[in-house]
Copies of this chain bind each other. A is one copy, B any other.
Amino acid sequence: MKIRQLMREADSFVDKEVTIEGWIRNSRFSKNVGFIELNDGSTFKNLQVVVGKEIENYDELDKQNLSASLCVEGKFVATGNNKNPYEIQATKVIVLGESSEKFPIQKQRQTFEFMRTIPHLRPRTNTYRAVFRLRSILAFGLHKFFQERDFVYVNPPIITASDAEGAGEMFNVTTIDPNDPPRREDGKVDYNKDFFSKKAYMTVSGQLEAEDYALAFGNVYTFGPTFRAEVSNTPRHAAEFWMLEPEMAFADYNVCMDTAEAMIKYAIDYILENAKDEMEFFNQWIDKGLIERLTKLRNSEFARITYTKAIELLKESGEKFEFPVEWGMDLQTEHERYLSEKIVDGPVFVTDYPKDIKAFYMKRNDDGKTVAAFDMLVPGVGELIGGSQREERYDELVKSMIDNGLKPEEYQNYLDLRRFGTVVHSGFGLGFERAMMYVTGMKNIRDVIAYPRYVNAFANQK
């Protein structure tokens, strides 16, 4: 039986014989009694197993190392202790799989850096057990939010032929052997002979495909891996990360912001309800005040101010920033945090950014200077979500492509959406790991990705 089931229906099992299986997460043995904290992965918390000297293989059990796996038969009893209200008084314990003194996760606290060297074993620790169950629950909560609202889940391709966006930062996908590549007459590598008959890349975003589907289904979302060959070794960047990208037709950016706000609130409710033990763990050990902060956000009405107003307010504040504030600049994290923490004191959408610092597909406002973009800024982090209304006017989009140095003839499919029944539409992107860091308080993106990928990631592997 799973420990989760036992705890869920504890009343009906008290004083009954039960059988559980799990791994030793902790144990202490004295001459006559042993206490084993067993975990089968179904719950965050361990369940204590009391082993009396009368157990046949008491000495064998005493010798077991951390992470050994056991099958335990015994009586499930109420302890009267609030913190650990139940335990099992074992009548029979079988060692299923021994562990070893060399098991690298020992009782003394070990660093996250060390844990990153053993990605296959670290989910056996409290922190990572909490992180990766939360990741699962948060992912499902986000799916649930969109499915309940009839958004269609779309899977854009990972492999793409388009190198237009973010060119230099894309990974090439190939079956060409660079030691002996097929060559054209001019001596250059002949990608027409590559697997896909053209140079292929890993996607940096599913947005353009999401737009195709939004203009058929109305409301859609993507949720899957995206890639960036960025040579940045920071706690916030990874080469492989998950993005959630909703796209809504017949919706301007105000509707889109409403959706983003509702989604964040739903997600917070969902994890506080469905991952109580994990969230309490983060709150106690990783980021004190986390639950209060999330609850406050959840109960806030998200403010909305324009970029232009934000620049004014930042200037008026008199605050010294590392990057001086000028209209036309991209907001840095210091500005974003100051805005949401000091000026607004809560979550805030900053809207209508200068067109020159935003992407070509964003809808140009009538002022000729700004686009209908928005970022959601939250206290403690800065930007959590970025989105925009898309330029739905054919001529304006062509103009914007040219202004941005893109060739409209390479975007015929994208332009088709503006030729055949164009509509106002908007979307946003949530970096899933950024969201994970925000709701757990974990400070390094490598600790919320099961097997993080970044520059030189495989350097130390055989």
Interface of A toward B, CB cutoff 8 Å: 2, 4, 21, 23-24, 40-42, 67-69, 96-100, 102-103, 119-121, 123-124, 128-129, 132-133, 135-137, 139-140, 143-144, 147, 150, 152-159, 161, 171-176, 178-179, 181, 188-189, 192, 195-198, 200, 202, 209, 212-219, 224-225, 227, 229, 231, 239-240, 242, 249-250, 392, 409-410, 412-414, 416-424, 449-451, 453, 455-459, 461-462
Contacts and interface: CB of A to CB of B under 8 A. Distances in A.
Contacts of A42: 150, 217-219
B103 A420 contact: yes
Contact of A154 (B136, B153, B156, B188): B136
A421 to B, nearest CB: 4
A100 B69 CA distance: 67
A420 B100 contact: yes
Contact of A216 (B102, B129, B161, B456): B129
B171 A174 contact: yes
27 contacts: A2-B150, A2-B218, A24-B421, A41-B219, A96-B423, A99-B419, A100-B419, A102-B419, A121-B420, A124-B215, A132-B213, A156-B451, A157-B450, A157-B453, A159-B239, A159-B453, A161-B458, A161-B461, A172-B174, A172-B176, A173-B173, A176-B178, A195-B455, A196-B458, A197-B456, A200-B458, A224-B225
B173 A153 contact: no
Contact of A451 (B172, B209, B392, B453): B209
A372 B10 CA distance: 35
A458 B193 CA distance: 11
Contact of A123 (B98, B144, B216, B423): B216
A217 B129 contact: yes
A279 to B, nearest CB: 16
A173 B369 CA distance: 40
A461 B417 CA distance: 18
Given A42-B150, A412-B462, 18 more contacts: A23-B215, A42-B218, A67-B420, A69-B421, A97-B418, A97-B422, A98-B421, A119-B212, A120-B413, A123-B217, A129-B217, A136-B153, A155-B449, A161-B461, A172-B176, A196-B458, A224-B224, A409-B462
A297 to B, nearest CB: 24
Given A67-B420, A97-B392, A178-B181, A157 B240 contact: yes
B69 A423 contact: yes
Contacts of A128: 216
A4 B156 contact: no
A158 B158 contact: yes
User: Which of A67, A103, A120, A124 gathers the greatest number of chain B CB atoms within 10 Å?
Assistant: A120
Nearest to A410: B462
A181 B124 CA distance: 41
Contacts of A159: 171, 227, 239-240, 453
A212 B120 contact: yes
A450 B229 contact: no
A308 to B, nearest CB: 29
Contacts of A453: 157, 159, 196
User: Which of A174, A175, A195, A449 gathers the greatest number of chain B CB atoms within 10 Å?
Assistant: A195
A240 B160 CA distance: 11
Nearest to A69: B421
B451 A40 contact: no
Contacts of A200: 458
A317 B242 CA distance: 51
B176 A249 contact: no
Contacts of A132: 152, 154, 213, 216-217
Given A216-B41, A240-B158, A242-B155, A198 B458 contact: yes
A44 to B, nearest CB: 10
Given A202-B173, A457-B197, A217 B41 contact: yes
Contacts of A392: 97
Contacts of A140: 143-144, 147, 153
Given A224-B224, A422-B69, A212 B123 contact: yes
Given A197-B456, A421-B98, A155 B450 contact: yes
B4 A150 contact: yes
